[in-house]
């Protein structure tokens, strides 16, 4: 019954959101079935569609994991957006500054830069909460804007190629490029930016699972999330856990920088994130704050993102903005789960939960 609940409500939320989206498409005078066929058809076409879908899923797995880890400690990290910007810039900075090093040195250094960049930016609201009790939600929102402004300053004044009209840094060194998976997967062209970071994202899912459910540290972190006063009583320092959770969360979000800088554009591109941080909240929530769930829901949101483009191009009125409408509606339905569970209880299909 528990597993059923875990699977049922996210599924209902997704279906309900697609119905709402379908009605909207119908209202503006297009055929929803045709639009959805375009959406899924393109996202699952081999190799280009699937390649891009997995590429889009990569940052969402990272940000989904970031939100998950914080959530398991009872924190809501809506700052993944800022954390990944800082991390991507840090990655690019290392890739530019030490451009001539060998890949064996440069790639690990970039990796560390991403983790430190994201981790530090995540630790700040953690420390502020642990030390001053200020709410992490507000601070992470503020830090998102700060990150964007800060990085945009560095790019505009220090790391842009002179005369380049685009807000982007100079390219990183060749040694910092990571493999595109097209190199190994027969039939997948190398222009598809799906890269090693995708594998790293899957590895991180495993590591997060082991950390949270198989280690003492993870147990302490989760205990803090479920009942902070009991945890404190049991000898766990809640303040320490808050800082640890936010740091890990930020570091996970930061790895988006690897996908973007080392595997995709090979430079820092201002405003590259398509709301990855905020979508991460949706990913974690829909995935029931479990690493496996995160993979599945990251794939779903990636499908939407990839499929939005042909919908935009090949329908009369529907633009790719339908993707954000669907995303928002899905989160809304997932958040207001009681809306469905209440209805189920009324018809005697499911026992009312004691939330």
Partner 1 sequence: MSEIFTIALIWSTIRLSTPLILAALGGLFSERSGVINIALEGMMLAGAFTAAAVTYATGSPYVGLVAGMMAGMLIAAIHAVACIQYKADQVVTGTAINILMLGMPAFLSGAFFLSSGSTPQIPKEHLVPWLPIIIAMVMVPLSWYVLYKTPFGLRLRSVGENPEAADAAGVPVARMRYAGVLLSGVLAGLGGAYLSIGQSSLFTRNMTSGRGFIALAALIFGKWRPFQTLLACLLFGFTEAVSIQMQGVVKLPSGDDIPVQFIQMVPYILTIIVLAGFIGSSRPPRALGIPYQKER
Q: Which stretch binds partner 1 (CB under 8 A): 4-12, 22-30, 209-217, 220-228?
A: 22-30
How many CA atoms within 13 Å lie on the side-chain side of 228?
13
Q: Give the whole-angstrom CA distance, residue 29 versus residue 23.
A: 10
**Binding of partner 1 by 97 (CB under 8 A):** no
Which of positions 125-184 make contact with partner 1 (CB under 8 A)?
128, 131-132, 134-135, 137-139, 141-143, 145-146, 149-150, 152-153, 156-157
Q: In which region does residue 187 sit, left (phi positive, over 0), alpha (psi from -120 to 50) or beta (all else)?
A: left
Identify the CA nearest to 294 among candidates 206, 213, 226, 355: 206
Among 265, 270, 275, 309, binds partner 1 (CB under 8 A): 275
Task: State the minimum distance, in angstroms, from the CB of residue 25 to partner 1.
Answer: 9
Measure the N-to-C terminal CA separation of the chain; round to a whole number of Å. 16
Closest CB to partner 1 among residues 183, 351: 351
Closest CB to partner 1 among residues 163, 187: 163
DSSP per-residue codes, 200-243: HHHHHHHHHHHHHHHSHHHHHHHHHHH-HHHHHHTT--HHHHHH
Task: State the minimum distance, in angstroms, from the CB of residue 280 to partner 1.
Answer: 10
Closest CB to partner 1 among residues 225, 263: 225
Task: State the minimum distance, in angstroms, from the CB of residue 329 to partner 1.
Answer: 6
Q: How far is CA 38 from the centre of its chain?
A: 24
Q: Count residues binding partner 1 (CB under 8 A).
A: 52
Among 11, 319, 351, 353, binds partner 1 (CB under 8 A): 319
Among 230, 335, 352, 353, binds partner 1 (CB under 8 A): 335
**Location of structure tokens 């969360």:** 249
Closest CB to partner 1 among residues 51, 308: 308
Tokens at 73, concatenated: 């400690």
Among 279, 289, 297, 305, binds partner 1 (CB under 8 A): 279
Q: Which stretch binds partner 1 (CB under 8 A): 84-92, 195-203, 227-235, 338-346?
A: 338-346
In the chain, which ranges are continuous DSSP H helix? 2-27, 32-43, 48-72, 80-97, 103-132, 136-154, 196-214, 216-226, 228-233, 238-254, 256-257, 276-286, 291-314, 322-335, 338-346
Closest CB to partner 1 among residues 58, 327: 327
DSSP per-residue codes, 144-162: HHHHHHHHHHHIIIIIBPT
**Location of structure tokens 């059923």:** 4
Closest CB to partner 1 among residues 183, 317: 317
**Binding of partner 1 by 338 (CB under 8 A):** yes
**Binding of partner 1 by 282 (CB under 8 A):** yes
**Binding of partner 1 by 278 (CB under 8 A):** yes
Angle between helix axes 291-314 and 276-286 (nearest 10 degrees) is: 120
Residues that bind partner 1 (CB under 8 A): 24, 28-29, 76, 78, 128, 131-132, 134-135, 137-139, 141-143, 145-146, 149-150, 152-153, 156-157, 275, 278-279, 281-282, 285, 317-319, 321-332, 335-339, 342, 355
């Amino acid at each position: 019954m528990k597993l059923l609940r875990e699977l049922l409500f996210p599924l209902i939320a997704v279906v309900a959101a697609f119905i709402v989206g379908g009605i909207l498409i119908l209202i503006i005078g297009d055929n929803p079935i045709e639009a959805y066929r375009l959406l899924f058809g393109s996202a699952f076409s081999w190799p280009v569609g699937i390649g891009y879908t997995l590429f889009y899923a990569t940052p969402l797995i990272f940000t989904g994991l970031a939100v998950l880890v914080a959530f398991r400690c009872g924190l809501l990290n809506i700052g993944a957006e800022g954390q990944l910007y800082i991390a991507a810039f840090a990655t690019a900075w290392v890739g530019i500054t030490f451009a001539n090093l060998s890949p064996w040195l440069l790639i690990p250094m970039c990796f560390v830069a991403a983790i430190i960049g994201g981790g530090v930016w995540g630790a700040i609201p953690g420390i502020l909460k642990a030390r001053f009790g200020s709410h992490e939600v507000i601070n992470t929102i503020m830090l998102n804007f700060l990150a964007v402004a800060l990085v945009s300053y560095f790019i505009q004044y220090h790391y842009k190629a002179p005369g380049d009209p685009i807000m982007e840094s100079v390219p990183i060194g060749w040694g910092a490029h990571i493999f595109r998976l097209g190199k190994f997967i027969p039939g997948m062209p190398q222009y598809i930016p799906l890269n090693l970071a995708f594998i790293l994202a899957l590895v991180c899912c495993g590591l997060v699972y082991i950390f949270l459910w198989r280690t003492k540290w993870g147990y302490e972190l989760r205990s803090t999330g479920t009942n902070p006063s009991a945890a404190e009583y049991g000898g766990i320092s809640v303040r320490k856990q808050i800082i640890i959770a936010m740091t890990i969360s930020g570091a996970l979000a930061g790895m988006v920088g690897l996908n973007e800088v080392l595997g995709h554009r090979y430079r820092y591109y201002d405003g590259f994130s398509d709301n990855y941080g905020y979508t991460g909240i949706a990913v974690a929530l829909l995935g029931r704050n479990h690493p496996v769930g995160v993979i599945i829901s990251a794939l779903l949101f990636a499908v939407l993102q990839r499929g939005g483009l042909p919908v935009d191009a090949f329908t009369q009125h529907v633009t790719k903005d339908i993707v954000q409408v669907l995303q928002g509606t899905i989160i809304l339905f997932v958040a207001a789960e009681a809306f469905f569970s209440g209805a189920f209880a009324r018809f005697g299909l499911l026992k009312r939960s004691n939330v």
